[in-house]
Structure 1
Amino acid sequence: MSSVIRLLSPRLANQIAAGEVVERPASVVKELLENSIDAGATRLDVEVEEGGVKLMRVRDNGVGLSKDDLPLALSRHATSKIYELDDLEAVGTLGFRGEALASISSVSRLLITGNQSDNPTEGWSARSEGRDMATELMPAPHPRGATVEVRDLFFNTPARRKFLRTEKTEFSRLEEVVKRLALAHFDIAFSLSHNGRAIHQWRACNSRIEQERRLGQICGNAFLENSLYVEVERAGLKLWGWVALPAFSRSQADLQHFYVNGRAIRDKLVTHAVRQAYQDVLFHGRHPAYVLYLELDPATVDVNVHPTKHEVRFRDSRLVHDFLFRTLHHALADVRPQDQMQPQEASPAPKVAGASSGVFGPQSALGLATPGQATPQVLDSQPASHWQNARPAPQALQQQMQSYGALHPSPAPAQPLPDTPEDMPPLGFAIAQLKGVYILAENAQGLVVVDAHAAHERITYERMKAAFDAEGLRAQPLLVPESIPVSEKEADLAEEHAQIFNNLGFGIERAGPETLLIRQIPVILGQARVEQLVRDVLSDLSEHGSSERIRHHINEILATMACHGSVRANRKLTIPEMNALLRDMEATERSGQCNHGRPTWFLQSMDALDKLFLRGQ
């Protein structure tokens, strides 16, 4: 290896830059579309052949390019997005590095055509085939806007071409890029074709209804039907978009779209904040789904921290984290059963606390026979008491838990069903109890099945949290202060965020450069591993600028207490007691899920039941 320092040739420098920007056809299309969006385009057409390896053509109707601009557009570090340092500190465009076209042209055969006038005959084009600069400049008819053709990607770097996947895989990744940008810019029309076949066609959206139509086309109607729309603006931050109900969770984090000022990002701080918002309602191992947009002053976010611009850095990360967490936490908490009911004439798909039937399986979730199976017994002639489990609860359970009515007195006797659907409560009125586990109720839509233990667990948990917050944290001093060896950075964090610990009942002081003393702890955490908890909080503060870990640990203890203090299986409830539970569910936050994220109720509409039994066919 030579020790002589030499200046890289422009061609080699471009190809090295291409290694950072151009990974595959999808990354090329991303850069081209972002340039078109920055150019003010209102329509974008993408044509692809052989997954993008043979051809990628992006056509827009933006401001276009003049004859003099074309050679510069293919030069390194040439851009119309920024001109001085102040522009870089408040980037408001998607592209700004001035490397994309130069990098792409160094590993492909590129043709760019543009026109800035309304006269189509005044268009010009420039061609580059892996060379240092565009050498061919020629007239080319073209309407206002620009078209970029990229052919034979990596034709001059065969080693990199070997790393590409199959045509189907490469097109799938390219399609995902187009979808992400279509979600980010509802005001732009998009089209995508592959090997001459139209794949997607999305019109520009001028209303929220049109936005949701595009959202359903890209993310699926199931996501749209089972999501909440949020829009909150505070302290210079605005968050809007759609978050899925907890029951519509995913096995993979494959339906998570987050945009900052129109730029799609993947950020650990954002993921942590969203995950925290779902922590009380998400089943373990599942992932939330969302399409969210954060708008803030461009000067308060640095988008120049990664070559692909997928990551950002917020100036006040703690403010952003807390804003995201609290906004989504309150949005999910405010969901009530009445918000999750579909009109009776709507789709007959079963609904589990707002989820589509696909999440929990088809209609067999109720244990009902499907056509072709044995005919179920007719129960209409049986009295309601026959539906209740006659077996007595085990003695231990009877001693541990009294009936729901003993804890929460219920109005009695039960009221008859109202004559009009408008007078019917969202979860309806109880008609029976099944096997001492499920409450069967009738509402305006049809049959509601409620897991009594799961529902009561959530109600008890929310009441315990409210009582705990109202009474405040009771702290107990330690007879012998506990010493914790920490790093100097962690000790500094503990000093800087001492108020956070104080608010949560901890008395922590610094006893040396790398030593902390715990002098008091919350009473409820008397049996917890306090040292490990403090270390985890310091880790959160270092990573995210805030921590909900102590509060989460307290909530876990309250959740355990609520679980042990809730109605158990095989507890025989009276009709008034069951109705009292239903009314409490309708008034309780997060009542669609228990403390462990399991659904608490299930709706089977009359239309679905009619289809199940082939009525009217």
Structure 2
Amino acid sequence: MASIRQLDPIVASRIAAGEVVERPSSVLRELLDNAIDANATKITVHVEDGGIKSLTVIDNGSGMSAEDLELACTSHATSKVRTLDDLFNLKTLGFRGEALSSIAACSRLTINSNGNRITVDNGVQGKVVPGSIELGTSVTMEGLFENIPARKLFLKRPQSELAECRKTFIEKALGSEDIEFILIADGELKYHFEKADKTARALQVMSLDRSFAGAQPIQMSYEGDNLSLFAVCSDPATYKRDRTQIKILVNNRIIDSFQFVQAIYNAYSAALPGGAFPFFYLFITDNPSLVDFNIHPTKRECKLRNQSQIYGAITNMIRKALINKTYETDERTAPQTPLFEEPSSPAPAPVKEEIHEPRPSYGQPRQASSSKQFDPSWFENAKAILERGKDTKEPEKPQQAPSRASVEISTTKIVPEYRYVGQVFDTFLIVELNDRLLFIDQHALHERILFDEIKALKDVQRLIVPYEFEVERSVDEYLQENSVLYSDFGIELTRKEPLLWEMASMPAACRKNEDKIVSFIQTQTGDIETMQKDLFAIIACHSAIKAGDRLDPVTANELVKKCFQLDRMVCPHGRDFTYSISKEDLYKQVGRLI
């Protein structure tokens, strides 16, 4: 008897739906694409319970006839592609003909359009009947995954699903400035974007981030063969500590592109402090024949035949604009207290941090704005480690007692005689040791020092406002049984409700790294030994001095001294952070006889 057979149509459609429909925001993405492709000038979205209960998209576009409605929810039915050539010259957001059939396979979908209505209930299609909407289209999705309990378990809380819907809504509005967008959630108006030009729409979206308040926007543009670029961005005085406000749109579709984000970051690097990212919305208009979106179900990725041309155009456009605007990284006073030096006063004055000088220079330096203070977290975190022992004084000496971790390290090994030569590339420390030159990775070294000291100290700081976060169901179950494991690290976790936890305390050395700790908790279900090592490694890595941070000689010397006090010169991730070359080998390299 044959073992291979064709799948039941409903089973096949639900398998296909798994690639397109992950959560309510996936449904919203596809319905908004259809509304935009229908040449709508106004789109209204209604969301209930984060879209889990229902989600409705109403547009005033061209709509569908009764004949179109009968085919709309069948597999691979579309009005946007006719031939294979059309697939390589796409001018619409949708093109596969899978969206409505996939949504209808795992929910109850009702479409009202141009006086007709049809309902498809979890793959079972009804007849076309008279509808209530004369012009345009209304699509309502209800009961997502109700007939697929295993899939429904992976949905998050309604508040989280709503957050994802809002993100999708904003992204679609950003790429379609000539359309009015309205989002209503549980009867409450959340967003209303009026029609605008690209600049105004981009600023509407940027302004949703509070850190953009008071920023000075910049416009940039580039025109080339088959390609045009337009960008709306912040001046270097306004920036983020992450990439969340760098958005790339290709032919009005937002995409994920590490290469283009890196191009933006590199071009801005001379005008921003290390580890800072601008607000930057880039609109790329490319020849459709050079773009292929048919590589991922969510269409968040694309292949570009002229990617290198675009990369170069982005870099040149930004650098030219910054030069014309004469922006430069703000200069500030160097710290008066070196990183590892204990001040003699028990209550030291606030320390101003140092920013390494920019590599090329754009114009003249500006005065630092009091509302835009640069506050590198590595300095504060590192000082927190070394200030633990300040409250205890030795009876015979006026100086503060060193921290317990420093005592433990200093008694294990004798520091050899060495000569600190200097710092190169703002990344490596060079030391002359006997007849060898030693190159030390400053970030990996400091990471190792912090790793050992954090493990030894375990000082705990309670949070004034507990940090709430969500977890997947598997992590939720794990934490219910094992959250006490984190208390050994000073991390107090409490379950507020299913899938929602809060962190009430954390290691004191981890200030400003709450999000890194939470991200770790959200993904871990391992044993305590592995968890401890990985957690402390993450904390140390994000608190340590970074590559690109310029160090004063006193700080660098203290780092080198502590390096020689370590048992092993490897970072917490197991990577060697030193490289040495002998005097003899160096002489040979330059052709000098000893």
Q: Secondary structure at the match of 2:133?
A: coil
- Code of the residue aligned with 1:323 in structure 2: it is A
Aligned residue number for residue 141 of structure 2: 150
Tell me, yes or no, if structure 1 residue 126 matches structure 2 residue 118.
Answer: yes
Q: Deviations over 1:561-581 (max 9, x none)?
A: 9x99xxxxxxxxxxxxxxxxx
Flag the structure with larger Rg.
1
Give the distance between the partners of 2:359 and 2:264, measured in 1 at CA.
23
Cα distance change, pair 111–154 in 1 and its aligned pair in 2 (3 A): same
Q: Distance in 2 between matches of 1:213 and 1:320?
A: 24
Match of 2:3 in 1: 4
Query: 1:70 corresponds to which letter in structure 2?
Result: L
For residues 128 and 461 of structure 1, do their structure 2 counterparts lie closer, same or farther at Cα, with a shift above 3 Å needed? closer
Contact 1:179 1:218 in 2 (8 A): no
- Do the aligned partners of 2:271 and 2:362 also contact (CA within 8 Å) in 1? no
Q: In the alignment, what sits opposite 2:296?
A: 306
The residue aligned with 1:238 is 228
Residue 248 (structure 1) shift? 2.3
Q: Residue 240 and residue 206 in structure 1: after superposition, are their counterparts in 2 closer, same or farther (change >3 A)? A: closer
1:321-336 map, 5 Å: 321-336=311-326
Alignment match, 2:242: 252
Structure 1 residues 65 and 218: alpha-carbon distance in aligned structure 2, compared to 1, 3 A threshold: farther
Deviations 1:232-282 (A, max 9, x none): 212221111212233422222211211000001001221222222123333
Alignment partners' CA distance in 2, 1:70 and 1:44: 20
- Quick one: structure 1 residues 332 and 8, their matched pair in 2 at CA, closer, same or farther if it must change by over 3 Å? farther
- TM-fit CA distance, 1:220: 4.8
For residues 197 and 222 of structure 2, what CA distance do their matches in structure 1 show? 20
3-state secondary structure, aligned to 2:138: strand
Structure 1 residue aligned with 2:179, among 180, 188, 193?
A: 188
- Partners of 2:214 and 2:303 lie apart in 1 by 30
Give secondary structure in 2 for the equivalent of 1:163.
Answer: coil
Q: d(CA) in 1 for partners of 2:57 and 2:23?
A: 16
CA distance in 2, matches of 1:158, 1:560: 51
SS in 2 for 1:112: strand
Q: Helix, strand or coil: the match of 1:136?
A: coil
Output one character per residue of 1:170-224: Cα deviation in whole Å (capped at 9) or x when no partner.
000100110111111111001111111111111111585x436523544457267
Displacement after TM superposition at 1:137 (Å): 1.6
CA contact (8 A) 2:13 2:123 kept: no
Q: 1:291 is aligned with what amino acid?
A: Y
* Equivalent residues of 2:274, 2:549 under 8 A apart: no
Q: 1:336, CA displacement in angstroms? A: 2.5
**Match of 2:13?**
14
SS in 2 for 1:192: strand
Secondary structure of 2:325's match?
coil
Cross-structure match for 1:615 = none
- Unaligned stretches of 5+ residues in structure 1: 116-122, 341-351, 355-359, 366-388, 390-434, 439-450, 464-523, 528-558, 565-617
- The corresponding residue for 1:76 is 75
User: Equivalences for 1:450-469 in 2 at 5 Å?
Assistant: 457=357
SS in 2 for 1:225: coil
Cα distance change, pair 6–246 in 1 and its aligned pair in 2 (3 A): farther
Q: Partner letter of residue 130 of structure 1?
A: N
Matches of 2:56 and 2:361, distance apart in 1: 57
Matches of 2:360 and 2:283, distance apart in 1: 35
Q: From the superposition, tell whether residues 148 and 278 of structure 1 become closer, same or farther in structure 2 (CA, over 3 Å).
A: same
SS of residue paired to 2:33: helix
Instruction: State the distance in 1 between where 2:160 and 2:4 align.
Output: 41
The 10-residue stretch of structure 1 (44-53 or 211-220) with the greater mean CA deviation from structure 2: 211-220
Q: 1:333 to 1:313 in 2, by over 3 A?
A: same
CA gap 1:560/1:96 in 2 versus in 1, 3 angstroms:
closer
Give how far 1:57 is off: 0.4
**Following superposition of structure 1 onto structure 2, how do residues 17-166 of structure 1 map, counting pairs within 5 Å?**
17-115=16-114, 123-132=115-124, 134-166=125-157
Q: Secondary structure at the match of 2:119?
A: strand
Residue 223 of structure 1 contacts residue 244 of structure 1 at CA under 8 Å; is this kept in 2? no
Report 1 or 2 for greater relative contact order, CA contacts < 8 Å, sequence distance ≥ 6. Answer: 1
Kept in 2: contact 1:258–1:266 (CA 8 A): yes
> Normalization by structure 1: what TM-score?
0.53
CA, structure 1 residues 232+8, in 2 after alignment: closer, same or farther (shift >3 Å)?
same
| Aligned CA distance change for structure 1 residues 230 and 195 (closer, same or farther; 3 Å) | same
Distance 1:99 1:290 in 2: 33
Letter matched to residue 205 of structure 1: A
Q: Which region of structure 1 is more displaced relative to structure 2, 7-16 or 276-285?
A: 276-285
Q: Secondary structure at the match of 1:280?
A: helix
CA distance in 1, matches of 2:53, 2:358: 56
Opposite residue 54 of structure 1, the aligned amino acid is K
**Paired letter, 1:124:** N
Q: How far is 1:19 from its partner?
A: 0.8
The number of residues matched between the two structures is 359
1:467-478 mapped onto 2 (5 Å cutoff) = none
Match of 1:215 in 2: 205
Q: Percent identity?
A: 33
Letter of the 2:40 counterpart: A
Q: Is the 8 A contact 1:212 1:224 kept in 2?
A: no
The structure-2 alpha-carbon separation of the partners of 1:131 and 1:336, relative to structure 1 and needing over 3 Å to count, comes to same
1:530-609 to 2 correspondences below 5 Å: none
Q: Distance in 2 between matches of 1:142 and 1:310?
A: 32
1:81 partner SS: coil
SS in 1 for 2:90: coil
* Structure 2: 5+ residue stretches without partners: 337-348, 364-424, 429-547, 554-594
Q: Quick one: which amino acid aligns to residue 36 of structure 1?
A: A
